[in-house]
Amino acid sequence: MSKTTVFHNIAPVFAADSRVLLLGTMPSPQSRRQGFYYGHPQNRFWPTLAAVFDAPAPALDDIPAKRRLLLDNRLALWDVLAACEIAGAADGSIADPRPNDIAGLLRQTEISRVFCTGRKAWQLYQKFCAAACGIEAVCLPSTSPANRRVSDAELLAAYRQIKQALL
């Protein structure tokens, strides 16, 4: 599959009282078409996050419910990259990465903890954002359908750290 230059087209989700930031790498082709994060039907992000907060899992196309799940729990959601070259949704193929202004988002919130939803997001945050942000990020397992090495139970256990960070 050939690489194409992709520009991030989804606004970050946050409020002034957001306390935890969840960062992915770059929206997948399906997420970009849907206009919201983690839009692939087999991605485990939304069911996992809902389970962490004892909430009903939002339907795939219910963007308002997804926003409520985030904002009701003082979570912010964005991606590390503003643009890159990528083949499909394969994080391993990323070239010419250009970061979003994560530090600028942090200045508008109460965020004190950052969690990256996969190793590539974490690596890119470390390289481009950590110094300016002054917050060490926690690397969580990817919820991508390509990451079936991690069971649903292991994923849920790892993502429970998000709720602990809010206590």
**Cα gap 95→83, rounded to integer Å:** 10
Interhelix angle 45-52/152-166, rounded to 10 degrees, is 50
Place of tokens 């839009």: 39
pLDDT at position 131: 97
Q: Which of 117, 99, 120 is nearest to 8 (CA)?
A: 99
Q: How many CB atoms lie within 10 A of CB 72?
A: 11
pLDDT at position 147: 83
pLDDT at position 103: 98
Q: Domain 4-166 is in which class?
A: alpha beta
What is the residue-averaged pLDDT of the chain? Answer: 95
pTM above 0.85, yes or no: yes
With cut-offs at 50, 70 and 90, classify the pLDDT of residue 125.
very high
Residue-wise pLDDT tens digits, 34-68: 999 999 999 999 999 999 999 999 999 999 999 99
Q: Where are the domains of the chain?
A: 4-166
What tokens were used for 120? 């590539």
pLDDT at position 141: 97
**1 pLDDT exceeds 80?**
no
